[in-house]
Each structure stands twice: as structure tokens, then as C-alpha cells.
Amino acid sequence: MPMNSTESFAPKIVAFCCNWCSYAGADLAGSSRLAYPADVKIIKVPCSCRVNPMFILRAFEKGADGVIICGCHPGDCHYSTGNYYARRRMTLLFSMLEYIGIEKDRVRVEWVSAAEAVKFSETMNSFVLQIKNLGENVRLGDLRCKS
């Protein structure tokens, strides 16, 4: 797998956004024209607690360079407690990532409310930069299905 330079490297980034806060925050970032890199692709989930750690591993298995999970601020979850579960699950998953062979900095959890368009855009900008600095996700290259 060829290593690209930081400029030409377009990372594949999957963002899981909860329907109530972060997805709406992303929409507001759009209507406020707050740009962030096109490398970020958003998947809508009802709540951050819907994000199964398996989805994240699947993304890396399929060649994603970074995965970010965005939910409502703690205490503000539309379903009262969903983001607390997400926080615990992700903390546990992230603690084992290095062991599996994935750099810890390839994942992140952020709380973005429906009103925080600026935070959404800034978060995505900084996350993409972080991933670009890490370079391509090659550690799992051999394990991947090549089809």
C-alpha cells in the first residue's frame, strides 16, 4: 500500500451522529456554511448508544482511517441516558484498540448539541487534521478483505 503525503491523502472518516443533537448540529453547520473537509461522511443513528463497537471495528476493517462518534452533551440525551452508555462502551473499546492494532487517536467521542454548529465544524476540522497526521490506516492492511 503506497504511503501518500499529507496533502494528497484523503482519509476515509466515518462520523456517527445522533439524530437529536449532533446530526442537527451538522445540519446547522451546513446552513451556516461552516466548512469542514469532505472526507467526513455522516451516518445517522437515533442515539449515540445505538453505535455498536462492532460498527467501529467494521469500519476499520473496511479501510476507514478514522471514526468519530458524536452525541448529545451528558445530561442532555434525548433518551435521558443513552450517551452515558455510549461513553462507557467507547471508553472500554478505545482502551483495547492499541491491543487490536489500531492507533487510539483514530477514534474520538465528542458531544455536540443541535445549536453548536461552530463546535461541529471545528471538531471535524481538528479530527481530520489529527487523522492526516496519523496517515493511512495500514496496520490492519493484511487482515483486510481485499475484494
Partner 1 sequence: MQRIGVFVCHCGSNIAATVDVKRVALAMLSENGVVFADDYQYMCSESGQLKIAQAVKEHNLTGLVICSCSPRMHEATFRKAAEKAGINPYMVEIANIREQCSWIHKDIEQATQKAIILARAAVAKVNLNSPLIAGKSPVKKRALVIGGGIAGIQTALDIADAGFEVDIVEKTPSIGGKMSQLDKTFPTLDCSACILTPKMVDCAAHEKITIFTYSEVENVSGFVGNFTVDIKKKARYVDSAKCTGCGLCQEKCPSKKALSEFNCGLSNRSAIYTPFAQAVPNVPVIDPLQCIKLKTGKCGLCEKVCAANAIDYTQKDEIITREYGAIVVATGFDVINLDNYDEYAYSQSKDVITSLELERIMNAAGPTKGHLERMSDGKAPKNIVFVQCVGSRCADNKGKSYCSKICCMYTAKHAMLIRDKYPDVNVSVFYIDVRTPGKNFDEFYRRAVEEYGVNYIKGQVGKVTPEPDGSLTVHGVDLIDGRQVKISADMVVLAAAIEPNASVRQLATQLTASIDTNNFLTEAHPKLRPVESPTAGVFLSGVCQGPKDIPETVSQAGAAAAKVIGLLAKNELTTNPCTAHSDELLCNGCSACANVCPYGAISYQDKEVNDHGIRETRRIAMVNTALCQGCGACTVTCPSGAMDLNGFSNKQIIAEVDAICR
Q: List residues near partner 1 by CB under 8 A.
A: 12, 14, 20-21, 23-24, 26-27, 29-31, 33-36, 38, 41-47, 49-55, 58-59, 62-64, 72, 75-82, 85, 89, 113-116, 121
- Whole-number minimum distance, CB 101 to partner 1, in Å? 17
- Whole-number minimum distance, CB 13 to partner 1, in Å? 9
Is 19:109 a contact under the CB 8 Å cutoff?
Answer: no
- Whole-number minimum distance, CB 70 to partner 1, in Å? 13
- Whole-number minimum distance, CB 105 to partner 1, in Å? 18
Which one, 27 or 105, has the nearer CB to partner 1? Answer: 27
In whole angstroms, give the CA distance from residue 35 to residue 14. 17
Alpha carbon 31 to its chain centroid, in Å, reads: 21
Task: Determine how many CB atoms are found less than 10 A away from the CB of residue 98.
Answer: 11
Which one, 75 or 101, has the nearer CB to partner 1? Answer: 75
Number of H helices, E strands in the chain: 4, 4
Helix, strand, coil % (nearest 5) of the chain? 45, 15, 40
Which one, 3 or 38, has the nearer CB to partner 1? Answer: 38
Is 136:3 a contact under the CB 8 Å cutoff?
Answer: yes
Which one, 118 or 130, has the nearer CB to partner 1? Answer: 118
- The closest of 68, 61, 133 to 100, measured between CA atoms, is 61
Which one, 81 or 95, has the nearer CB to partner 1? Answer: 81
- Whole-number minimum distance, CB 45 to partner 1, in Å? 6
